[in-house]
Amino acid sequence: MISRVATGFSLRRKLYLVVSLVAGATAWGEPTFFQARVAPILDRNCTVCHGEEKQKSGLRLDTYEFLQRGGEGGKIVAPGKVGESELYRRITLPGDDEDVMPSDGKPRLTANEVKILELWIASGASPTAPVSAFPNAPAPLTPKPAALPLAPDWRPRAQEIAALEAALNVRLAPRSALPRDGLVLRTVSAPARCDDATLSRLASVAELIVDAELARTKVTDAGLKSVASWPNLRTLDLSRTAVTSDGLSALQSLDKLETLNLTGTLVDDTGVARVRTLPKLRRLWFFGTRAQSPDCDPGK
Partner 1 sequence: MLPYDQRDPHAHLCSDHAREHPTVWDLPVAESLKREWLELETRRHFFGRGAKALAWAGLATILGKSAPQMLANAASGTEIRPHFAPKAKRAIYLFMAGAPSQLETWDYKPGLAALFDKDLPESVRGGQVLTGMTASQPRLPIAPSMFKFQQHGKAGHWVSELFPWTAKIADEIAVIKSLHTEAINHEPAILQITTGNMFPGRPSIGSWLSYGLGAMNEELPTFVVMTSKMPVVKNVQALSNRLWSAGFLSPEHAAVALRAGHDPVLYLNNPKGLNSDARRAMIDGVNALNRQLFERVGDPETNARIAQYEMAFRMQTSVPELTNLSDEPASTWDLYGPKAKEPGTFAYNCLMARRMAERGVRFSQVFLRSWDTHSDVPGRLAALCEDSDRPTYALVADLKRRGMLDDTLVIWGGEFGRTVYSQGGLKRDLYGRDHHPRCFSMWMAGAGVKPGLAFGETDDFSYNIVKDPVHIRDLHATILHLFGIDHSRLTFKFQGLDQKLTGVLPAKIIDGILA
Contact between 147 and 181 under an 8 Å Cβ cutoff? The reply is: yes
Residue 67 phi/psi, 5-degree rounding, is: -60, -40
Cβ proximity to partner 1, 17 vs 48, nearer residue:
48
- Rounded to a whole number of angstroms, the minimum distance from the CB of residue 147 to partner 1 is 7
Is 107 one of the binding residues for partner 1 (CB under 8 A)?
yes
Which residue from 14, 65, 149, 287 is in contact with partner 1, where contact means CB under 8 A? 287
Cβ proximity to partner 1, 75 vs 155, nearer residue:
155
Residues 158 to 217 in contact with partner 1, rule: CB under 8 A: 158-159, 161-162, 165, 171-178, 181, 183, 186, 188-190, 215-216
CA separation for the pair 243, 237 (Å, rounded): 11
Candidates 42, 3, 46; CA nearest to 19 is 42
- Full 3-state SS string of 119-173: HHHHCCCCCCCEHHHCCCCCCCCCCCCCCCCCCCCCHHHHHHHHHHHHHHCCEEE
- Rounded to a whole number of angstroms, the minimum distance from the CB of residue 26 to partner 1 is 34
CA separation for the pair 125, 118 (Å, rounded): 9
**What is the CB-side half-sphere exposure of residue 148 using CA atoms within 13 A?**
5
Cβ proximity to partner 1, 33 vs 286, nearer residue:
286
- Rounded to a whole number of angstroms, the minimum distance from the CB of residue 157 to partner 1 is 8
Which residue from 92, 220, 249, 259 is in contact with partner 1, where contact means CB under 8 A? 259
Contact between 224 and 248 under an 8 Å Cβ cutoff? The reply is: yes
- Rounded to a whole number of angstroms, the minimum distance from the CB of residue 72 to partner 1 is 19
The sheet carrying 283-285 orders its strands as 171-174, 183-186, 209-213, 235-237, 259-261, 283-285
Is 14 one of the binding residues for partner 1 (CB under 8 A)?
no
Largest CA distance in the chain: 77
Contact between 197 and 222 under an 8 Å Cβ cutoff? The reply is: no
Is residue 261 helix, strand or coil? strand
- Rounded to a whole number of angstroms, the minimum distance from the CB of residue 295 to partner 1 is 8
- Rounded to a whole number of angstroms, the minimum distance from the CB of residue 217 to partner 1 is 13
Which residue from 63, 85, 239, 244 is in contact with partner 1, where contact means CB under 8 A? 239
Is residue 213 helix, strand or coil? strand
Is 56 one of the binding residues for partner 1 (CB under 8 A)?
no
CA separation for the pair 172, 271 (Å, rounded): 28
Sign of CA dihedral 29, 30, 31, 33: negative
Q: Which range binds partner 1 by CB under 8 A, 84-92, 112-120, 220-228, 285-293? A: 285-293
Which residue from 237, 256, 265, 272 is in contact with partner 1, where contact means CB under 8 A? 237
- Rounded to a whole number of angstroms, the minimum distance from the CB of residue 258 to partner 1 is 10
Is 39 one of the binding residues for partner 1 (CB under 8 A)?
no
- Rounded to a whole number of angstroms, the minimum distance from the CB of residue 290 to partner 1 is 13
Chain residues that interact with partner 1, rule: CB under 8 A: 1-2, 4-5, 104-107, 147, 154-155, 157-159, 161-162, 165, 171-178, 181, 183, 186, 188-190, 215-216, 237, 239, 259, 261, 263-264, 283, 285, 287-288, 295
